[in-house]
Amino acid sequence: MDYIIFDLEWNQCPDERDTKDPHLPFEIVEIGAVKLNKDREVASEFHRMIKPEVYHWINSRTREIIRLDYQSLRQKGVPFPQAARDFFAWCGDDARFCTWGDQDLLELQRNLKYYDLESLLPGPLKYYNVQKLFSIYYEDGRSRRSLEYAVDLLGLAKTEGFHRALADAHYTAALFARIGEECIHKNFSIDAYQNPKNKREEIHIFYEDRVKFISREFASKEDAIADREVCSTACPRCHRPTRRKIRWFSVNARRYFSVSMCPEHGYVKGKVRMKKTDDGMFFVEKTTSLIDEEDAERILEKKELLCAKRRLHRRSMSERY
């Protein structure tokens, strides 16, 4: 078993006046990766520059960050399908993927889908979000820091600049090697870009202090939030049904919260994130976790504040018309 720590750099539509491809908002232009063995020692590395095919110039902001120009990529890069096949051949059959944050894995799958190469990386995917693991192991578990911040905090040598794929992969690998093994294996993540399509494929993940549920697809947000499995809230410790204290409410178009009570283990927070697929369908990622009374009060205050703002908005709209 090997850990594959990878980093991507990508380009986007170079000019707001041009048409962005909705199927590929970010085109990968560089892949860098480090392979660690089971003892988290560096075994090998991988690097490819990729010839742009969708956006025929480099966005000025992208060029400023990653310091790559279009002509260099055209001359030195290879087509994305070739780079992707080379990458997964190098990864091997028993790879555990690790990234800094969750964006790289999403964009990798989106680029694979664009070229009909999803079979190279079937999902949903279990992976290790090193940014999240760093926060859990070294900080409060909620903050999400930059890669350079983490490198500085641990006093690692900065031998190369940031925002190049192979350099960032090496920095991420060095940080990953300094996180406790128990923390890593207790706090894996699931990427659901390739989401469950039916009831049989729905996912339940039981962590030490929370439960995560990934639903099947629904035709609308309303259908999703009305589903019995989606709106139920069992205790994450004893898995028994709970009694609702604060009904589900939305804070925006994508996030919903609730609070329930387990007779044995106390307050249970429900959190739903509504996700939309590339095909216009909806699915839900729901997390239930134990909280204290103070956290429950904060959620109630948030709900009451939102209700007051919405009442005020409706009143102002009615007076206007």
pLDDT per position as a tens digit, 71-81: 778 888 899 99
Considering only residues 63 and 51, tell me which one the structure prediction assigns the higher pLDDT: 51
Q: Please check whether residues 167 and 208 belong to one and the same domain.
A: no
Q: Please check whether residues 66 and 169 belong to one and the same domain.
A: yes
Q: Please check whether residues 260 and 179 belong to one and the same domain.
A: no
Q: Please check whether residues 174 and 91 belong to one and the same domain.
A: yes
Question: C-alpha distances in angstroms, 6 versus 47, 101, 144, 225, 299?
Answer: 10, 11, 18, 35, 37
Q: Please check whether residues 152 and 220 belong to one and the same domain.
A: no
Say how far apart CA 298 and CA 144 lie, in whole Å: 22
Q: Please check whether residues 21 and 146 belong to one and the same domain.
A: yes
38 pLDDT higher than 80: yes
The tokens of 187 are what? 């706090």
92 is a domain residue: yes
Query: Above pLDDT 90, what percent of the chain?
Result: 74
**61 touches 140 (CB < 8 A):** no
61 pLDDT higher than 70: no
Q: Looking at the 3D structure of the chain, how many domains does it have?
A: 2
Supply the DSSP symbol for 78: B
The string of DSSP codes covering 151-200 is: HHHTT----S-SSSHHHHHHHHHHHHTTS-HHHHHHS-EEE-SS---SGG
284 lies in which domain range?
Answer: 196-313
320 is a domain residue: no
Say how far apart CA 317 and CA 321 lie, in whole Å: 6
139 pLDDT higher than 70: yes
Mean pLDDT, rounded, for 302-317:
82
